[in-house]
Amino acid sequence: MSALAAIPRKKKVVILGPTLLVMITVMTALGPLVAPYDPIRINPGEALSPPSWQYPFGTDQFGRDILSRTIVGARLSLLTGVGAVCIAVSLGMIFGLASGLWGGWVDLLLMRLVDPTDFTTIGMHSRQIPSNVADGRGFRSEGIRETQVALLAADRVGTAQVAKAANNMIMWSCLIANHEALALAQRHGMDAEKLREALLMSSGDNYVLRNWRQNTMAWAEDDMEIVQQMAAQKGIALPQAGVNREICRMLKPKRFKLDEYGV
């Protein structure tokens, strides 16, 4: 108890959530083993009993213990959730790897298939895995496809990092260009969202534009710093990459706020 008392109050609150989640998951998994009563046993004499020490959640119109029925019934919800995640993982990996491996019309078909459905919330974006977590996007089959492409482009050890850096340069360039194009349109009285939808059907279509407002830019500066370091190692100048790094630094605190862009 003394160790628990020494934990700051804020940290106690942080610990409480995962602890309750683990307890509920364990209780749900055990189901009938921890349920205080038979969830299907009918007891007319206890019908519609209010919550009490004997029945913490009360009883239903047939006298069945609601707490026991909740514990046992939650197992189905847990299995459904786990099953859905497993299916999403499998489909996301299969679609992403297939797109990256074969490319061409297979890539186009599979990516257009998963774009509107978004059932593959598991996959990885083309950047480093930590930035996926920071962005809160989780994993997507399109991300697996892009990572696979980066790996296929690696003809020797270390070149996968170069492919990833090239992807990051293009992605952050697109993000900046999207902001500037939409901000310009908005200043001229156009509906920025309608323009974005139109651009998705034009040659201006890009991944960042399709996922507008979903990027936190948590790793933008770090990504561009890595690019600059790699360029310096080879003695070449990448002026646009340098400018984009500074723009990302300025843009990050007011991203997607078109009214504030360029002011």
For residue 181, what pLDDT is reported?
93
pLDDT in tens, 223-245: 888 888 888 888 898 999 889 88
Entry pTM = 0.45
For the chain, which residues make up each domain, given as ranges?
A: 156-260
Residue 155 and residue 168: Cα distance in Å, rounded?
19
Beta carbons within 10 angstroms of residue 170's beta carbon: 14
Residue 193 has pLDDT above 50, yes or no: yes
Length of the chain: 263
Residue 39 has pLDDT above 80, yes or no: yes
Helix (H) or strand (E) holding 185: helix 159-187
Using a 10 angstrom Cβ sphere, with 0-12 exposed, 13-18 middle and 19 or more buried, the burial of residue 191 is exposed
Query: With bands split at pLDDT 50, 70 and 90, how would you rate the model's confidence at 176?
Result: very high
Higher pLDDT pick, 7 / 17: 17
Helices (H), 53-128: 66-102, 104-117
Residue 231 and residue 236: Cα distance in Å, rounded?
5
Tell the CATH superfamily of the 156-260 domain.
Answer: N-(1-d-carboxylethyl)-l-norvaline Dehydrogenase; domain 2 (1.10.1040.10)
Mean pLDDT value across residues 242-251: 89
Residue 141 and residue 115: Cα distance in Å, rounded?
9
Place of tokens 């990092």: 161
